[in-house]
Chains A and B, each alone.
Chain A
Amino acid sequence: MKTIKLARVMREGWQNFYRDKWLTLATVVIMSLSLYLIGVAVFLGFGVLHIIDTVESRINVSMYFDFTVEEDKILEIKKELEEKSLEEVQSVTYISRDQALSDFMEQEGDSKEIKEALDMIGENPLPASLIIVAYDTVDYKKIDQYLHQEYSDYIMNTNLAKNKGVIDELHNFITFIRNGGIILGIIFAIIAILVTLNTVRMSLYAHRKEFEVMRLVGASNLYIKIPTLVEGTLYGLASAIVALVFLIGTIYVVNPFANKIIENANIAQFYSTNILEVAIIIIILGVILGFVSSYIAVNKYLEK
């Protein structure tokens, strides 16, 4: 209908939002708490996936070669592994005997005893190796079997046996966290959405009497509805911003603890690169929730 002036109904909605300060405060507090919970669920999900990635990338199987095997042959095997034989393999890194020794020295520091021991041996006691990283932790067993079967002539040993227990356990743990996280996240989100719907409904309940008066002085339903939708959307937007501020605060508080549990996971850094996406998700979610809740509420209060 031509008689509805958009700027006017927008202003109307804005006035509803900022004039009734207590109502707005109460609504925004509860709604931002819900959004905060959703945000925590999303962040936990992202965070756990990130930690899983970090941990998984540190798992590998090392393949140690007999001293007799030439470097050329090792590089040839590396190439084979990279190029054709196994699709489960993500990367292969060659560590020469010299490299292995200097890594070892660096790790141990300039300890006298070690230097003396090495001098006594007279030659480099460390074998050359290929470090193989798989895409998925479940594949290490298969890769290990394959290595023993194909390259048994060259291999001194592999270290999978040593890591096997850890890898299996980790795999179970990761699966558990993933599934549990998804279910928990969904439950969180549903609760938060229900709380939000109800909060906006309660807030607009306060306007119910006013809707009647508005109709009495000739306002069409649409003229009443649009400002109310604007009001609901503003609740959502404000709540999203409040929730975001607290989310970011939470990350910086929690980060040191997370880093203690998993070394160098640096959650905060991870989030700061993802914060924009999360911010957009939360804001869109807030706006949609505010809009939909007010839509449902206003339709309910206007039918008569």
Chain B
Amino acid sequence: MKLINLDNVTKEYSDGFVALDRISCAIDQGEFVSLVGSSGAGKSTLLKIIYADEFPSDGAVYFGGRNISSIKRKILPHFRRNFGTVFQDFKLLSQKTVFENIAYTLEVQGKSDAQIYEEVHNMLKIVGMDNKSDKYPHQISGGEQQRVSLARAVIHRPRVLIADEPTGNLDPISALSIVKLLLKVNSFGTTVILATHDKSVVDKLNRRVILMDKGRIMRDDLHGKYIISG
């Protein structure tokens, strides 16, 4: 069985809007999957379903063979530690420094201060932010914020990295550096699921591409290109 399995998943929001319509797909450990499709196609919804921020109204999602719907609310924060998430708007904690933002992920898991210090500094070097560890988010650029956000998402070595339009707010050069980091993370064995509108990114990757439209999967190519058309 694959790491993530979606079995005939439908998501109907509380206002009756059907964002996912009977979706089935499987993603294996270590894969790099790009999720493309026009705005409103249901990409973000699909990601939320995978990291248990939303739950299917019909069908089932399995993670490591376990039905996500059966996970108790109390255990959810622990379950989410299997994932790292990166978003277009970075979602950094504004009252914490670069170092503290990354450290937070480890702090909530009860790691020791010494261990946190070492791991965070190593990570800061990897994302090229080790000279700005004491800055607050508003003191650094968007590209830098996204690198911090990415560092925070992977510092605890999650099995899956979810990236929802991580390059959406960035200039091409910054975007490229983020994509390189995603590939690096993937090369360590982490599954990466990337939702994006960025054609050049997808084309360059030459990895699996899932094309969505109106809540359904239209194409699923192992070495796909960014194609959105009829």
Q: Is the CB of B80 within 8 A of A218?
A: yes
Distance in Å from the Cβ of A298 to the closest Cβ of chain B?
15
Q: Is the CB of B152 within 8 A of A217?
A: yes
- From DSSP, what is the main secondary structure of chain A's interface residues? helix
Q: Is the CB of A214 within 8 A of B110?
A: no
Q: Is the CB of A221 within 8 A of B77?
A: yes
Q: Is the CB of B110 within 8 A of A219?
A: no
Q: Is the CB of A220 within 8 A of B95?
A: no
Distance in Å from the Cβ of B23 to the closest Cβ of chain A?
23
Which chain A residues border B80 with CB–CB below 8 Å?
A: 215-218
State which of B93, B109, B110 has its C-beta within 8 Å of the C-beta of A213: B93
**Quick one: CB contact mask for A199-224 with B, threshold 8 Å, 1 for yes?**
00000000000100111111111010
Distance in Å from the Cβ of B72 to the closest Cβ of chain A?
12
Which chain A residues border B94 with CB–CB below 8 Å?
A: 210
Alpha-carbon distance A220/B81, docked complex (angstroms) = 11
8 A Cβ contacts from B74-98 to A: 74, 77-78, 80-81, 85, 91-96
Also in contact, A217 and B104, with CB within 8 A (given A19-B95, A20-B95, A210-B93): yes
Q: Is B8 an interface residue (CB 8 A)?
A: no
Q: Interface size class for chain A?
A: 20 to 34
CB closest chain-B residue, reference A20: B95
Q: Is the CB of A216 within 8 A of B156?
A: no
Residue of B74, B85, B91, B92 with most partner-chain A CB within 10 A:
B91
Q: Is B177 an interface residue (CB 8 A)?
A: no
Also in contact, A214 and B108, with CB within 8 A (given A219-B77, A220-B78): yes
Also in contact, A15 and B95, with CB within 8 A (given A216-B85, A218-B77, A218-B156): yes
CB closest chain-B residue, reference A15: B95
Which chain B residues border A142 with CB–CB below 8 Å?
A: none
8 A Cβ contacts from A162-220 to B: 210, 213-220
Which chain A residues border B153 with CB–CB below 8 Å?
A: 217
Q: Is the CB of B105 within 8 A of A218?
A: yes
Q: Is the CB of A4 within 8 A of B95?
A: no
Also in contact, A223 and B108, with CB within 8 A (given A218-B78, A218-B80): yes
Alpha-carbon distance A16/B95, docked complex (angstroms) = 7
Q: Is B58 an interface residue (CB 8 A)?
A: no
Which chain A residues border B96 with CB–CB below 8 Å?
A: 15
Q: Is A8 an interface residue (CB 8 A)?
A: yes
Q: Is B221 an interface residue (CB 8 A)?
A: no
Q: Is the CB of A3 within 8 A of B85?
A: no
Distance in Å from the Cβ of B121 to the closest Cβ of chain A?
18
**Quick one: CB contact mask for A7-46 with B, threshold 8 Å, 1 for yes?**
0100000011001100000000000000000000000000
Residue of A19, A210, A217, A219 with most partner-chain B CB within 10 A:
A217
Q: Is A112 an interface residue (CB 8 A)?
A: no
CB closest chain-B residue, reference A23: B95
Q: Is B107 an interface residue (CB 8 A)?
A: yes
Alpha-carbon distance A213/B77, docked complex (angstroms) = 12
Alpha-carbon distance A215/B104, docked complex (angstroms) = 11
Also in contact, A220 and B91, with CB within 8 A (given A3-B108, A3-B109, A8-B107): no
Q: Is A2 an interface residue (CB 8 A)?
A: yes
Distance in Å from the Cβ of A220 to the closest Cβ of chain B?
4
Which chain A residues border B81 with CB–CB below 8 Å?
A: 218
Alpha-carbon distance A223/B81, docked complex (angstroms) = 14
Which chain A residues border B91 with CB–CB below 8 Å?
A: 213, 216
Q: Is A5 an interface residue (CB 8 A)?
A: yes
Alpha-carbon distance A213/B95, docked complex (angstroms) = 13
Alpha-carbon distance A218/B157, docked complex (angstroms) = 13
Distance in Å from the Cβ of A221 to the closest Cβ of chain B?
7
Which chain B residues border A3 with CB–CB below 8 Å?
A: 108-110
Q: Which 6 pairs, one residue from A and one from B, show the smallest C-beta to C-beta distance?
A: A3-B110, A219-B108, A218-B81, A220-B77, A19-B95, A217-B105
Q: List 22 A-B contacts (CB under 8 A).
A: A3-B109, A3-B110, A5-B107, A8-B107, A19-B95, A210-B93, A210-B94, A213-B91, A214-B93, A216-B53, A216-B80, A218-B77, A218-B78, A218-B105, A218-B108, A218-B109, A219-B104, A220-B74, A220-B77, A220-B108, A223-B77, A223-B108
What 16 additional pairs, Cβ within 8 angstroms, besides A3-B108, A218-B105, A218-B109? A2-B110, A5-B107, A8-B107, A15-B96, A16-B95, A210-B93, A215-B80, A217-B80, A217-B104, A217-B108, A218-B81, A218-B108, A220-B74, A220-B77, A220-B108, A223-B77
